[in-house]
Amino acid sequence: MLRSGASRSRCMLSRAEGAPQVFRPPTSAVRGNPPDRLGYNFDGCAPEVVQLSMSVRSGRLVLPDGMSYRVLVLPERETMTPALLRKIKELV
């Protein structure tokens, strides 16, 4: 059954830059097959969404459609493009 309305996620997980990439939440946040979210409520996004669409309003990360998040989790990678790094600095 599909849900309608806004998600209540508190956390946005960004996938790694580069291609090809598939969004996979951290193993600490899921279990089983298909994965169960272990009580966590999160959404995933492409780094382009962070770079082009995300802003801060009232201390929350906000997208143009009105979705908002308390936390942005970045992937465990040693590198990041300068443009995305600038955006992260701007959001902070």
pLDDT of 2-60, one tens digit each?
455 555 567 777 877 776 666 666 666 667 666 565 655 778 888 899 999 999 999 99
DSSP β-bridge partners for residue 68: 62
pLDDT of the residue at 2: 44
Q: How far apart are CA 83 and CA 72, in angstroms?
A: 17
Question: Which residue type sits at 74?
Answer: L
Beta-bridge partner residues of 73:
13
CA distances from 33 to 36, 37, 84, 87 (A): 8, 11, 33, 35
pTM: 0.70
